Chain A
Amino acid sequence: EAGVAQSPRYKIIEKRQSVAFWCNPISGHATLYWYQQILGQGPKLLIQFQNNGVVDDSQLPKDRFSAERLKGVDSTLKIQPAKLEDSAVYLCASSLVGSEQFFGPGTRLTVL
């Protein structure tokens, strides 16, 4: 069974530039999550979707971060404009409703 796919795997940008990450969840998983993991910390939930609706975005910095899940499958996370402190690994996860979350390999973002 295919896992959660993410792209790109690595991205280097300069501050104030924009960047977008893509996630394709496990087939049939209604719930999709975006996490931010800063070096030396555990993952922090940014946003949770169930199908194409937002369940929780309380920790998403909405002045610069946005996310969408059109058609309830793939999702994109965008940062505009990026700051130095956005350097982190962005992890996408998916699950059946209320079940174990499976993580993708992540996108490692470096903001210079």
Chain B
Amino acid sequence: RKEVEQDPGPFNVPEGATVAFNCTYSNSASQSFFWYRQDCRKEPKLLMSVYSSGNEDGRFTAQLNRASQYISLLIRDSKLSDSATYLCVVNGGGGGNKLTFGTGTQLKVEL
């Protein structure tokens, strides 16, 4: 079983749609969780951290369910500029700041 699993997509959605990405992780000792965004042929960039209480940043909402070892990202009112690959990332803890990345979910927002 992969440490971090995501549906690779692609998700093709019209502009203005709401889209949700899911992710599961296998290490129950994982301590922190993130969503990164990676544009085509660019480096990954931190989109947002994910907290158990859920957190929102504009049109983006992230949720964490530790009991189910499940992470989600919701994008509302999709824009063309949201087209990218979204990487689910888990920090295994232990003080080493070691990040484990999922394979990423590709999003294409269309007119």
Interface residues of A (CB under 8 A from B): 31, 40-45, 48, 55-56, 91, 95, 97-101, 103-106
A96 (CB) vs chain B CBs: closest residue: B97
Question: Is the pair A56, B43 in contact by a Cβ cutoff of 8 Å?
Answer: no
Taking CB atoms, residues of chain A closer than 8 Å to B103 are 40-42
Question: Is the pair B87, A56 in contact by a Cβ cutoff of 8 Å?
Answer: no
Count, chain B residues at interface, CB 8 A: 19
Write the B6-22 contact mask toward A (1 if CB under 8 angstroms, else 0).
Answer: 00100000000000000
Majority secondary structure, A binding face? loop
Report the minimal beta-carbon distance from A94 to chain B, rounded to whole angstroms.
11
Taking CB atoms, residues of chain A closer than 8 Å to B80 are none
B96 interface contact, C-beta 8 A: yes
- How far apart are the CA atoms of A55 and B98 in the complex, in Å? 10
- How far apart are the CA atoms of A55 and B95 in the complex, in Å? 10
* Given A91-B43, A104-B43, A105-B43, A44 and B98 contact (CB-CB distance below 8 Å): no
What 4 A-B pairs come out closest when comparing CB atoms? Answer: A42-B101, A103-B43, A43-B101, A42-B103
Report the minimal beta-carbon distance from B65 to chain A, rounded to whole angstroms.
21
Question: Is the pair B4, A98 in contact by a Cβ cutoff of 8 Å?
Answer: no
